[in-house]
Homo-oligomer: A and B are copies of this chain.
Amino acid sequence: MSYANQMPPNHALSGELRVALGQAARRIRQQRGEAGLTDPQYNVLLWLTKKGPLTPGQLADIERIQPPSMTRTVNALAELGLVQKSEHPTDGRQVVVTLTDAGVAEVAETRRRRDAWLTERLQEMTAAERQVLTDAIELLRRIAQS
């Protein structure tokens, strides 16, 4: 058997990609500063920044975690004063999560700190390499959302 005129088997790419993704993601995560927000907490603030107020259920769907997990994360952010929970105007079952001013400021500061390390790594790369990663982002999003 030969693989002439054929890409390497997808399962080989799959295995390498999966391991590389996992290790890169963890490495980046390790760069969070002391006393910084955890990954799930920061992600929630990012979504609120991007989409405006959301319910816990919507946040759980976006992050693909179960509602009880999101309850926990939102409560932690509320205790930190970074988000505010309020009643839904028309549906008494729902809760609306809104960024506070402190939350907005925290997003800016945390983003700066957490991206700093990765930005340095990217600056060590060539423009062509950065382009590969730029192209990969869309594909990674597709994987994440499927």
Contact = CB atoms under 8 A, between A and B. Distances in A.
Interface stretch (A17-25, A67-75, A77-85, A86-94): A17-25
Contact of A135 (B24, B39, B132): B132
B10 A140 contact: no
B10 A39 contact: no
Contact of A14 (B15, B119, B140): B119
Chain A interface main SS type: helix
A11 B118 CA distance: 8
A142 B119 contact: no
Interface stretch (A53-61, A97-105, A121-129): A121-129
Contacts of A144: 20, 23-24, 26-27
A2 interface: no
A143 interface: yes
A109 interface: no
Interface of A: 7-8, 10-11, 13-30, 39, 43, 46, 64, 111-112, 114-116, 118-119, 121-125, 127, 129-130, 132-137, 139-146
